Amino acid sequence: MEDDSKPVSEHQTLFHNDPFLDNLARYFIGNNTRYRENIIIPRTMGPVVIKTNEEKLIEAGFESCAFKTTMSCVAGFGLGAALGLFSSSVNPTIVPGQELKTQTAREILREMKGTMLSYAKNFAMVGAM
């Protein structure tokens, strides 16, 4: 049986005829990944734990722009509602030129609701931006 395969030379040119330029091209273009057996992972405090693929996936989701936008919108809505509640409780409801009348609890709560929603929507919009 005759072997038709050619022996592969030690240095077969891939990119350029000049060996120096070919080595340079192999270095910059070629696959330079190396298998490393002993990986040194720096640690500050506690044991080093290598993350699983599921943990990396969840972390990527938490770091996404959509998640951060949604969370800042929700947090802004909550903060705005709290500030709206405070400002409506401090805000006087006296209108100049009208008689002072006693408000019912329902009227006070409706006014507080309007102020809270107004503040909450504005803070949510600022958070989303």
pLDDT tens for each residue of 6-16:
544 555 777 77
How many folded domains does the chain comprise? 1
pTM value? Answer: 0.57
Residue 118, in any domain of the structure? yes
The predicted structure's pLDDT at residue 9: 52
Q: Cα separation of 117 and 97, whole Å?
A: 28
The type of residue at 75 is: A
Residue 45 lies in a domain: no
Boundaries of domain holding 74: 65-93+103-128
How is residue 9 written in tokens? Answer: 């030379």
| CB 14 within 8 Å of CB 26 | yes
- Whether 15 is covered by a domain: the verdict is no
Model confidence over 75-114: pLDDT tens digits?
Answer: 999 999 999 999 888 877 677 777 777 878 898 889 889 9
Identify the residue with better confidence: 106 or 1: 106
* 18 domain residue, yes or no: no
CA 71 to CA 46: how far, in whole Å? 30
Q: Is residue 88 part of a domain?
A: yes
What pLDDT sits at residue 6? Answer: 52
State the number of CA atoms in the 13 A half-sphere of 47 facing the CB.
Answer: 3
* Mean pLDDT of the residues in the chain: 82
For residue 24, being part of any structural domain is answered with no
Considering the domain boundaries, does residue 1 fall inside one? Answer: no
**In the predicted model, what is the mean pLDDT of residues 18-45?**
77
The verdict on residue 13 lying in a domain is no
